Amino acid sequence: MNSHDDGEPGSRPAWRERAALPPLGALRCFEAAARLGSFTRAAQELHLTHGAISRAVRSIEDALGLALFERRNQRVHLTAAGACLRDAAAGAFELLAATVRELREPPHKPALVVSCEPTLLMRWLIPRLPAFQAAHPGIALQWSAGGGPVGFGEVDLAIRRNDFAWGRDAHAQHLFDERIGPVCSPAYRAAHVGGAGRNARFSADVCLLHSATRAGAWDEWARAARRKRPAAAMQQTFEHFYFSLQAAAAGVGVAIGPWQLVRDEIESGVLTAPLGFVADGSAYYLLSPAPARAGSPAALLAQWLRAQA
């Protein structure tokens, strides 16, 4: 077997098969003429002369020993062989065009996977994401709802309140301090809250709303505000924090609302905060496995988050 041969013994080498193909330029002329049904229109599309198209097609016919077009009444019509070659050539050129487009396009950057506590993600972050996309259209983000310890093998960044120990392996960037206060609907306030500010008082029939995921919220507020926790006639507990806030907006009772989570509802008048907000000593941080490089997507996201807060 010759050392320059390719493939199985007795087979024709692949390079010889490729060498037997008609020239690419001739195939391009044929494909255009076959697709458009006209040598003249093909010449116009490819910015060639009618004679150049005709010679290219003739060269393929001579190489194959087959007629690709029938010329009748000053028009050209594909033969069965011509139709077969047209389909193959069209598919080949489409594949080439798609490959060239992919090569010219910059590689897609992987999305930055960010974990965020569900209520913060739902009520504060998502309404503001269009602003981030407008400011940084080249940064792709993938959001994941979660809380507590972070597995950096699954996520790149995490937004967490410092109510647990995240360990020395996590790099933390401060985003904003937590401020909390009782919130309710304007109608509920009118019926169950007297006065305003430090002089505001809850009526004896007030209903306090609690969350199982932040069960000590009322006690945390009482300590931070240096006030007594209201003696409530009724109490209701919801599984998630955002349910208690939704119940407050619906007029069910009074919930403890962190400022960042209720600021949009306060500004729109859906919720009111009769006693204002106080810092409870906690804060939110952006956690990462290592410090973010200046100008990196993680650094730009941290900067934007602080600006939003």
Whether residue 284 contacts residue 121, with contact meaning beta carbons closer than 8 Å, is answered with no
pLDDT the model gives residue 4? 44
Residues 6+ apart with CB under 8 A from 127: 264
Residue range 30-38: average pLDDT?
Answer: 90
pLDDT the model gives residue 99? 83
Cα dihedral 69, 40, 52, 97, rounded to 10, equals -80
Residue range 262-275: average pLDDT?
Answer: 94
Whether residue 304 contacts residue 157, with contact meaning beta carbons closer than 8 Å, is answered with no
* Two structure tokens written together for 130: 């269009």
Cut 0.95: pTM above it: no
Q: Give, in order, the Cα–Cα distances in Å from 302 to each of 172, 174, 291, 305.
A: 10, 9, 11, 5
Range from 47-51, 88-92, 101-105 carrying the lowest mean pLDDT: 101-105
Amino acid at 242: Y
pLDDT in tens, 155-174: 999 999 998 888 888 899 99
Instruction: For residue 254, name the pLDDT band (cuts at 50, 70, 90).
Output: very high
Chain mean pLDDT for the chain = 87
Q: Whose CA is closest to 250, among 239, 261, 242, 260?
A: 242
pLDDT the model gives residue 91? 86
Helix 24-36 vs helix 50-64: crossing angle, to nearest 10 = 110
Q: Whose CA is closest to 196, among 205, 186, 206?
A: 186
pLDDT > 70 fraction of the chain, expressed in percent and rounded: 92
Q: Give, in order, the Cα–Cα distances in Å from 243 to each of 152, 190, 229, 280.
A: 29, 22, 21, 21
Instruction: For residue 2, name the pLDDT band (cuts at 50, 70, 90).
Output: very low
